[in-house]
């Protein structure tokens, strides 16, 4: 009965997919080794909408997913609880008095099943993934299941396309039998979160590749992308006003300087050079965020690190902040 209800729900989701969220999938490795689920797996993903689990379940249509859900119903709404369980929900006691969900999860993954978790918790209406709680790590170690990270861009809507980035599996079997102290959990979580953010940046860069705007020597307006030529490359920033340009790193980094998102004046950004300003074509203008959103996003990233020439450099940052990608 559970399989019937599960796939009935997915078929309804499939109808919605045709009209609301077509999906395009990228992979961390080009060999698409995680295109199919193999063995016990705990899928982790960012979370912003009730459609998120449907999108991921449809991506693995022929492999029924179970999902961790907080048991808000208790004994008051037994019908709702029964439906949740039938659709694959593993209910967790929100008061922490019952740990049966661990054994249920172990039985599922031992048979090669997959469990979906959202480590951010509730919906996070933020531009970038937020800090993960560590529950998924405990569950992965105790069930001996691999962790499969998936990044979702939440691009839902008519005639739009949702993009997923599926990462390589993460094996935590080396921690079996080890005491998982708060410090150790934080260490593991920081490592996995770093890998997850790399996937996030990689997905954003993939989506930005379709844009090829021109740059002109014109006066910048609020929230324009500007650039200067430094030696053998261009350095990019987001112009807010003459006293405030948000950039990732500096045009020339001082020895030992930590590369972070920071704010400088236009004179500090340019030095003796004249900046070029991004001049998007008519067809590209619809993909640019409004100025207020750009300013909020850029300022929210101040102090952010994680610079990577491959996926998270000054241009990647400027594109991510200013484009709807």
pLDDT tens, position by position, 185-231 = 999 999 999 999 999 999 999 999 888 889 999 999 999 999 999 88
* Domains held by the chain: number: 2
**Residue 80's pLDDT is what?**
47
User: Which CATH number do you get for residue 241?
Assistant: 3.90.1720.10
Residues contacting 177, CB < 8 A, separation 6+: none
Residues above pLDDT 70, as percent of the chain = 81
**Residue with more model confidence, 115 or 31:** 115
Query: Of 206, 237, 257, which one is at a domain's C-terminal end?
Result: 206
- Tell me, yes or no, whether 256 and 225 share the same domain: yes
pLDDT at 20 over 70: no
**Residue 315's pLDDT is what?**
96
- Tell me, yes or no, whether 189 and 230 share the same domain: no
Can you name the residues that pair with 69 across neighbouring β-strands? 91
- Tell me, yes or no, whether 90 and 198 share the same domain: yes
Query: Of 180, 206, 232, which one is at a domain's C-terminal end?
Result: 206
With bands split at pLDDT 50, 70 and 90, how would you rate the model's confidence at 79?
very low
The beta-strand segments (E) located in the chain are 22-27, 41-45, 65-70, 89-92, 114-117, 146-152, 161-166, 214-216, 224-230, 233-241, 244-248, 261-264, 276-279
- Tell me, yes or no, whether 115 and 247 share the same domain: no
CB 301 within 8 A of CB 321: yes
pLDDT at 61 over 90: no
**Residue with more model confidence, 162 or 84:** 162
- Tell me, yes or no, whether 148 and 247 share the same domain: no
Q: How confident is the model over 33-43, as pLDDT tens digits?
A: 667 788 899 99
- Tell me, yes or no, whether 51 and 9 share the same domain: yes
- Tokens (6 digits) for 110: 């031992």
| 3-state secondary structure at position 171 | coil
Instruction: Print the domain residue range for 186.
Output: 2-206
Q: Mean pLDDT score of the chain, rounded to an integer? A: 85
CB 117 within 8 A of CB 135: yes
Q: What global pTM score does this model have?
A: 0.87
- Main-chain phi, psi angles of 136, to 5 degrees: -65, -30
**Lowest pLDDT segment from 13-27, 272-286, 310-324:** 13-27
One DSSP character per residue, 90-131 reads EEE-TTS---HHHHHHHHHHHTT-EEEE-TT-S---SSS--P
Return the number of other C-beta atoms located less than 10 Å from residue 197's C-beta: 18
- Tell me, yes or no, whether 32 and 173 share the same domain: yes
- Tell me, yes or no, whether 128 and 26 share the same domain: yes
Q: How confident is the model over 63-78, as pLDDT tens digits?
A: 888 888 765 545 555 5
- Tell me, yes or no, whether 221 and 190 share the same domain: no
Compute and round to an integer the Cα radius of gyration of the chain.
22
Query: Of 151, 182, 206, which one is at a domain's C-terminal end?
Result: 206
- Tell me, yes or no, whether 168 and 225 share the same domain: no
Rounded to whole angstroms, the Cα distance separating 322 from 325 reads: 9
- Tell me, yes or no, whether 138 and 50 share the same domain: yes
- Tell me, yes or no, whether 245 and 197 share the same domain: no
**In terms of residues, how long is the chain?**
325
């Amino acid at each position: 009965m559970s399989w019937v209800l599960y796939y009935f729900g997915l078929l309804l989701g499939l109808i919605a997919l045709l009209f609301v969220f077509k999906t395009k999938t990228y992979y961390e490795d080009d060999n698409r080794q995680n295109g199919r689920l193999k063995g016990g797996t705990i899928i982790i993903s960012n979370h912003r909408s009730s459609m998120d689990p449907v999108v991921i379940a449809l991506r693995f249509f022929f492999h029924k997913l179970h999902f961790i859900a907080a048991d808000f119903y208790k004994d008051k709404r037994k019908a709702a609880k029964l439906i949740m369980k039938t659709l694959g929900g593993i209910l967790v006691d929100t008061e922490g008095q019952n740990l049966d969900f661990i054994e249920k999860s172990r039985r599922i993954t031992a048979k090669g099943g997959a469990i979906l978790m959202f480590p951010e918790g509730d919906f996070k209406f933020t531009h970038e993934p937020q800090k993960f709680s560590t529950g998924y790590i405990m569950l992965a170690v105790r069930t001996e299941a691999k962790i499969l990270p998936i990044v979702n861009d939440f691009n839902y809507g008519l005639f739009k396309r949702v993009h997923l980035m599926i990462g390589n599996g993460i094996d935590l079997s080396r921690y079996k039998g080890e005491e998982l102290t708060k410090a150790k959990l934080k260490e593991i979580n920081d490592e996995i979160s770093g890998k997850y953010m790399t996937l996030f940046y990689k997905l954003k860069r993939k989506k930005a590749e379709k844009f090829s705007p021109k740059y002109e020597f014109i006066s910048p307006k609020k929230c324009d992308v500007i650039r200067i030529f430094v030696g053998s490359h261009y350095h990019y920033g987001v112009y807010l006003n003459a006293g405030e340009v948000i950039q990732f790193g500096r045009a020339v980094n001082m020895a030992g300087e930590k590369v972070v998102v920071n704010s400088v004046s236009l004179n500090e950004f340019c030095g003796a050079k004249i900046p070029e300003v991004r001049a998007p074509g008519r067809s590209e203008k619809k993909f640019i965020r409004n100025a207020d959103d750009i300013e909020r996003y850029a300022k929210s990233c101040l102090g952010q690190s994680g610079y990577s020439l491959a996926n998270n450099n000054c241009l990647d940052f400027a594109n991510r902040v200013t484009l709807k990608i």
